[in-house]
Amino acid sequence: MQIQMQPMGAYQTNCYIVTIDGRDLIVDPGVGATEWVMKHVKNPIAILNTHGHFDHVWSNAELKKRLGVPICCPEGDTFMLEKDPFSQGTPPSRADVAVKPDETLQLSGVTMTFLHFPGHTPGTSAIEIEGNWFCGDFLFKGSIGRVDFPYSDPVAMVKSLKRALEWPKNAILHPGHGPRTTLEAEKKVIPYWIEALG
């Protein structure tokens, strides 16, 4: 597996290209991601959204038009792609695959699971691929996603954090913002956030 990452836009949202056996997955193409993605993909098979916030899905529509690949988004957040609920002027897109909580997909022989960790948004998911979590705005290095936005849910976030704390395996975490970390490292600070939200 090869992972390329580039922060995009004013919020420095991490866009990832994950290459497995010559097949490219595009994760969270945010503001201004199109040209970077076009320059670095050779055999794209899908666009994956960890959640529906504008800074993670802005380039969905343009990339789909240029690459002709499906958009896969957690079903709880598909409305955000279509309706621009935060009035940011996000180009509308539509999920070709509305992924159910904890659903495993097989795309061109590549397996991925959308682990459902709601709270930041209703559909927020960590996309698990070969022990790597592309976790959007669920977990960051030393921090967690905000829960004070419309459609956020602090109670759901606490449940998600407890689930992550009890997760039986380590994982490499590739967040939506900032540097990568590990689940093992974040388990040391997750109890603080559970208490803070409680």
Q: How confident is the model over 136-185, as pLDDT tens digits?
A: 999 999 999 999 999 999 999 999 999 999 999 999 999 999 999 999 99
- Each residue's pLDDT tens digit, 19-41: 999 999 999 999 999 999 999 99
What is the domain-level CATH number for residue 9?
3.60.15.10
Q: What are the distances in angstroms from CA 104 to CA 98, 116, 195?
A: 12, 11, 31
pTM across the whole model = 0.98
Residue numbers of the domain that contains 129: 2-197
Instruction: Give the span between the Cα atoms of 192 and 198, in whole angstroms.
Output: 10
Query: How many structural domains does the chain have?
Result: 1
Helix (H) or strand (E) holding 143: strand 143-144
What's the residue count for the chain? 198
